[in-house]
Amino acid sequence: MTSYARALNSSGGFFDVPARREELNKIEAQASAPDFWNDQVAAQKSLQDRSRLEKKIERQEHFESQIADAEVLFEFAEEDETSIKELHSLIERLEHDLSQAETEMLLAGDNDRRNAICTIHPGAGGTESQDWAEMLLRMYLKWAEQREFKAEVLEYQPGEEAGLKSVTFRVEGEYAYGLLAAEAGVHRLVRISPFDQAARRHTSFASLFVYPEIDEDIEVEINDKDLRVDTYRATGAGGQHINTTDSAVRITHIPTGIVVSCQNQRSQHQNRAVAMQVLRSRLYELELERRRAETAELEANKADISFGSQIRSYVLAPYQLVKDTRTKLERGNVEAVLGGDIDDFIKAYLLARKAA
């Protein structure tokens, strides 16, 4: 058990509880000042920092509690079979939690802590690719659920026979963008087609795009004259107003050609507000891309994020294998991966990016 304790104590700033408590005390003192709310933006940022610090301290204390429990179980393990089982289970949970903490330590970008707005589009191939896009959506929604993130589908266009033509969804949680950005790119599926009467093997492609959700404190200039707003009747699963009114909203940003939609809110006004939020995030990411393109760093990593670059293959036939083409990481349990177990792939990519 001492190896876990050493790992926690040697992990630097992430697990430095005294330093975190000192930061927290400073924020608490600032929040108590009479003029704290004079600057609303700064006050909100301070409260967000306080929340993050509280979570980090809580996680450290949770780790220490788990290690203490494990040490007790270890003492009884030689004579008690029940303690052995409990110890193995506790160690597995501790390793999982520690791995998640180590992954978050790799995220230091300006937007990594933000919520994520994601879109999935099928590639060429009709029903096959549209069904694969639906499978990817389920994978990411299950991943979000396992991490206790909140996921919400904002816009969904079903395929003609199966699957989807496009989907936009938001994932809300700390580091959602930083984690999901590691998944951006083209995903390839090889399987025996359930839509082919001859039971032939098919290859399908679908792409994931990920954008940071932008807060109100970041200004993104959008002129009304640059927008075309269309309303239409929503399709697919949704709230009680789905298919009863023309409440869905599609906004086209004419200068860039960016199109965003929202259909799952209860009114046209709410759908427009969410669509504008997505548009702001898309335009912000576009500006970041333009700035990064001016540096050698983006040119070196461009293949990792551009459409058409295959980042991972999921093979269901003639064998079972998921392989990340960037990190060469492989997993044989394809069902688990498609069920949302993708943290290993995210961590491997972040480690490789840091080492590059």
**pLDDT given for residue 235 in this prediction:** 65
* Identity of the residue numbered 102: E
Residue ranges, comma separated, of all CATH 1.20.58.410 domains in the chain are: 2-105
Where is pLDDT greater, at 309 or 252? 252
Question: Rounded mean pLDDT of 321-342?
Answer: 97
Structure tokens at 35: 């003029």
Measured N-to-C along each axis, helices 40-77 and 2-9 cross at an angle, to the nearest 10 degrees, of 160
Question: pLDDT tens digits for 277-312?
Answer: 899 889 888 888 877 675 544 444 444 434 456 899
Residue ranges, comma separated, of all CATH 3.30.70.1660 domains in the chain are: 117-356
Question: pLDDT tens digits for 125-162?
Answer: 789 999 999 999 999 999 999 999 999 999 999 998 99
Question: pLDDT tens digits for 118-130?
Answer: 999 999 878 999 9
The CA distance from 185 to 179, in Å, is 13
The CA distance from 58 to 64, in Å, is 10
Lowest mean pLDDT among 219-228, 242-251, 261-270, 296-305: 296-305
Q: What is the mean pLDDT of the chain?
A: 83
CB of 322 closer than 8 Å to CB of 313: yes
Whether the predicted pLDDT of 236 surpasses 60: no
**pLDDT given for residue 2 in this prediction:** 46
Q: Is the pTM of this model over 0.85?
A: no
DSSP label at 13?
G
Q: Smallest Cα–Cα separation from 112: which of 183, 45, 176, 47?
A: 176
Whether the predicted pLDDT of 43 surpasses 60: yes
**pLDDT given for residue 53 in this prediction:** 82
Write the CATH number of the domain with boundaries 117-356: 3.30.70.1660
**How does residue 205 score in pLDDT terms, banded at 50, 70 and 90?**
very high
Question: pLDDT tens digits for 51-107?
Answer: 878 877 887 887 788 888 888 888 777 777 787 888 888 888 888 788 888 888 899
Question: pLDDT tens digits for 58-71?
Answer: 878 877 888 888 88
CATH of 2-105, one of 1.10.3720.10, 3.40.50.10490, 3.30.540.10, 1.20.58.410: 1.20.58.410
**pLDDT given for residue 239 in this prediction:** 44
The CA distance from 243 to 16, in Å, is 53
Structure tokens at 155: 């816009």
Whether the predicted pLDDT of 207 surpasses 90: yes
Q: Smallest Cα–Cα separation from 122: which of 250, 194, 234, 208?
A: 208
The CA distance from 187 to 185, in Å, is 7
